[in-house]
Structure 1
Amino acid sequence: MGLFMTLEDASAEEAALLREGVLPKAAPGGAAGRLRVFDLHCDTLDRLAFHGDPTVPGGFAAHDAPIPAARMSSLADNDAHISLARTAPFAWCQCFAAFIPDQVRGDEAWALFERVRRVWERELGRWPGRLAPARSMADVDAALAAGRTAGLLTVEGASFLEDDAAAEGRLDALAEAGVRMVTLTWNGRNALGSGNDTADGLTGFGRSCVRELELRGIIVDVSHLNDAGFKDVCATATQPFAASHSNARAVCGHPRNLADWQLRELADAGGVAGLNFCRDFLSETHADPTPDDVLRHVDHVLEAAGEDVLALGSDYDGCDVPSWLDPCDQVGGLHALIASRFGREVADKAFFGNARAFFERLEGQV
């Protein structure tokens, strides 16, 4: 099937999947009565874009080699963690990241971003009744009211930005493509700064990119930065920023997680921290983290930063997650756990309200 199709073609494809029982019928009444989910990070688009291509660094091809191509070719139904069939029973807003591995820079990295962006646009064209692009919270509200999954495009690892003549044009292109959030680094170094595997902070170019992203209404994401880089963002940013998928370091000592001072800085800045489902970031003792392991992170973030900071940043399709959260339609159990331990209001804010309020605060500052 080509990249572009008519609305009639898309409707026919959706109708066929409905007849086969692959896609559930659209939920009547829009978002009413459905659990609201706002997930700040997943890598599903990369898994679809790079399936079967061993030339792309990052391990997607090797990880997914046993999966037939037909089962990794569509957001509608697949063998990934996230599909529209699984999000349909919920009022679901998903931040879909274009992940750029550390090993690529400059033009090569930009080409990978463009590949992922084309897959995003292809899927939007294929499933207009199921998936809606969102650049604002009004767009999100409209999509959920219509019974569709709302999708925001984001970037993880901005190694295509270098201190050269192409940088400004690429920043403009991100804004034009509807990118709403950019994780400045992955685990290693790029021209902007250093990830958690290294010790240096932001470069001068990285600090200028923080300001340029803010000017374009693109949220700065500090997940994957090391502590020095986080401090540099605190000193540079003039708008609220996010840690889209990072947990509490006091509970699990992985450097990808946030120290208490970082959680407090996020709270003071009006930011959010997305609860990451990655097994390695949840527990240092359990290979398959338990519900109590996850709740300890929830409890600590609430204690350190208050109930307005905690959000979801699942990292679905970018890591191994606890068996009881695999695949994405199992998150209802987590909401029930948080509600039973901390109350329904806290659970609702963590699952949707805090992320939505965060994005809305940013809209008011552009």
Structure 2
Amino acid sequence: MGLLMLEDLAAEEAARLGVVAAPAEVGGYVSENKLRVFDLHCDTLDRLAFYGDASVPGGFAEHDAGIPAARMATLGDNDAHISLARTAGFAWCQCFAAFIPDVVRGDAAWSLLERVRRVWERELERCGDRLARVRTMSDVEAAWVAGKTAGIFTVEGASFLEDDDAAEARLDALAEAGVRMVTLTWNGPNALGSGHDTTEGLTAFGRVIVRELERRGIAVDVSHLNDEGFKDVCAVATRPFVASHSNARAVCGHPRNLADWQLRELADRGGIVGLNFCRDFLSDVHADSTPDDMLRHVDHILEVAGEDVLALGSDYDGCDVPTWLDPCDHVDTLHNLLAHHFGQPLANKIFSQNAHTFFARLEV
């Protein structure tokens, strides 16, 4: 068998396994085949931005009080769940969220967002040899070929948006900063609507914001939104939307998880749901969720919504994850688990292809 034929077979095998097969050398980087990972949600930027500052709601300073400052100073290498040192072993695309707590509103909330954004910009400059800002799926592919982690800037909790003169300018600023997804609420209410701790749906202003986000090509994220708010998004949305980090309520009854009718709505509308690694959302029984707990969610979502809907939404650095997935470079254990139970092609769709397809769809 000739050398060219062997190379063709190797490329076919790489495609089957869902890994990136880059040229031997690209910009000085010697490439190797890597598992593709596309994660829709993490809170790592907040942990870095608010380290040691107890004045910021959310508990980040208290949670990380025992970690030396030097180990929470950069995305490059740290004691958080996610670092570039750990993602380097994969072809990884990470949605890095700026989480804004419910209790902070308006200008104060915008100031927190800007603080997280400055950390994001700092890390892009500091770690430019390992991290690339991406807006499009072609950008993601280019980052992977260059051996870099692809980073998408997102927002969790839009309490900085209020029905005033600043709203439109702030939406424009999000788009200019490369934000590709906005979670409308966190657990409580804001000017757009209500999270799962309450029962009210979207406000009239929130309905307007859904359309304005769509107009700017920013994905509407319904994770944390309560059931009435979800219905309101269905009524007003004209483009596919996403639940970036939610599981199946039929498997674990936490209200942050999605009911079957919501999973079917996402499927019908070309949306996706990111599988959340949070222990509380995986099991009502096990304090440290097991692989079987995860498989039950995957199996149920596949049965209800089909194989094109499920993606990854780890919630790394925003929750306690199972020990077998901590830290992020253990995620290949999950891929092996899914491949064993559902086959390699479906594992690859969950790990990267479905998210990639969703964002490519929004570019049209």
**What is residue 236 of structure 1 aligned with on the other side?**
236
User: Map of 1:61-100 to 2, 5 A cutoff?
Assistant: 61-100=61-100
**What is residue 225 of structure 2 aligned with on the other side?**
225
* Structure 2 residues not aligned, in runs of 5+: 1-27
Give the Cα–Cα distance (whole angstroms) in 2 for the partners of residues 28 and 34 of structure 1: 12
**What is residue 297 of structure 2 aligned with on the other side?**
297
**What is residue 154 of structure 2 aligned with on the other side?**
154
**What is residue 18 of structure 1 aligned with on the other side?**
none
Q: Percent identity?
A: 77
Give the Cα–Cα distance (whole angstroms) in 2 for the partners of residues 287 and 278 of structure 1: 11
- Residue 165 of structure 1: how far off its partner (Å): 0.5
Alignment deviations for residues 327-354 of structure 1 (CA, whole Å, 9 cap, x no partner): 0000000000000001101100000000
Give the Cα–Cα distance (whole angstroms) in 1 for the partners of residues 268 and 59 of structure 2: 37
- Residue 205 of structure 1: how far off its partner (Å): 0.1
Please, what TM-score do these two structures have when normalized by structure 2?
A: 0.92
- Residue 250 of structure 1: how far off its partner (Å): 0.3
- DSSP-derived class of the 1:115 partner: helix
Residue 311 (str. 1) matches residue 311 (str. 2): yes
- DSSP-derived class of the 1:179 partner: coil
Amino acid paired to 1:149:
T
- Residue 174 of structure 1: how far off its partner (Å): 0.3
Q: 1:296 to 1:27 in 2, by over 3 A?
A: farther
* Structure 1 residues not aligned, in runs of 5+: 1-25
Alignment deviations for residues 62-94 of structure 1 (CA, whole Å, 9 cap, x no partner): 000111111000000000000000000000000
RMSD, aligned CA = 0.8
User: Map of 1:182-193 to 2, 5 A cutoff?
Assistant: 182-193=182-193
**What is residue 145 of structure 2 aligned with on the other side?**
145
Give the Cα–Cα distance (whole angstroms) in 2 for the partners of residues 104 and 181 of structure 1: 20
Give the Cα–Cα distance (whole angstroms) in 2 for the partners of residues 202 and 27 of structure 1: 48
Amino acid paired to 1:170:
R
Alignment deviations for residues 278-305 of structure 1 (CA, whole Å, 9 cap, x no partner): 0000000000000000010000000000
Give the Cα–Cα distance (whole angstroms) in 1 for the partners of residues 105 and 45 of structure 2: 20
Give the Cα–Cα distance (whole angstroms) in 2 for the partners of residues 204 and 171 of structure 1: 17
**What is residue 247 of structure 2 aligned with on the other side?**
247
**What is residue 288 of structure 1 aligned with on the other side?**
288
Say how many residue pairs are matched.
337
Whether the 8 Å CA contact 1:27–1:89 is kept in 2: the answer is no
- DSSP-derived class of the 1:285 partner: coil
- Residue 28 of structure 1: how far off its partner (Å): 2.6
Alignment deviations for residues 162-213 of structure 1 (CA, whole Å, 9 cap, x no partner): 0001000000000001000000000000000000000000000000000000
**What is residue 103 of structure 2 aligned with on the other side?**
103
Residue 35 (str. 1) matches residue 35 (str. 2): yes
Whether the 8 Å CA contact 1:86–1:329 is kept in 2: the answer is yes
- Residue 33 of structure 1: how far off its partner (Å): 1.6
**What is residue 204 of structure 2 aligned with on the other side?**
204
Please, what TM-score do these two structures have when normalized by structure 1?
A: 0.91
- DSSP-derived class of the 2:195 partner: coil
Alignment deviations for residues 70-127 of structure 1 (CA, whole Å, 9 cap, x no partner): 1000000000000000000000000000000011000000000000000000000001
- DSSP-derived class of the 1:234 partner: helix
Give the Cα–Cα distance (whole angstroms) in 1 for the partners of residues 66 and 108 of structure 2: 27
**What is residue 50 of structure 2 aligned with on the other side?**
50
Give the Cα–Cα distance (whole angstroms) in 2 for the partners of residues 236 and 60 of structure 1: 35
- Residue 27 of structure 1: how far off its partner (Å): 6.7
Whether the 8 Å CA contact 1:27–1:88 is kept in 2: the answer is no
Residue 322 (str. 1) matches residue 322 (str. 2): yes
